[in-house]
Copies of this chain bind each other. A is one copy, B any other.
């Protein structure tokens, strides 16, 4: 469904949200361990998200990644868009560039419903809302 990059990105953002709510910044090594991802790879991904303003970072001792209130309230949809683009929300299920309402592929209308459901779900799911489930071990971010 999503690229590996995007999967790591979502997991990392939720992980950082949790640490932010605990009142602290978190470094790359801890993030990589916490979400079971390659360290340098997730570093690159977060670099990019940071540049785009989806999360905050601070260099130097006591530095690390964290989320401000706006970022905590971001929907997962924003992360997906930032990493994978909106192909998954807009693109044709059969990969046809010209596919549209008036020039649809055979499964266009069926697909529209699926995509709409996916988008709504990801718009509702805010980065900062998973901390409770994680704290109570009702949800997990690693194997």
Contact = CB atoms under 8 A, between A and B. Distances in A.
Interface of A: 1-2, 4, 7-8, 10-11, 14, 36, 76, 88, 91, 93-99, 103-108, 110-111, 113-114, 117-118, 121, 125, 130, 133-134, 138-143
A106 B88 contact: no
A140 B134 CA distance: 46
A139 to B, nearest CB: 4
A113 B106 contact: no
A142 B7 contact: no
Q: Which 6 A-B pairs have the closest CB atoms?
A: A7-B95, A106-B130, A106-B139, A98-B143, A110-B121, A7-B94
Contact of A140 (B8, B10, B95, B103): B103
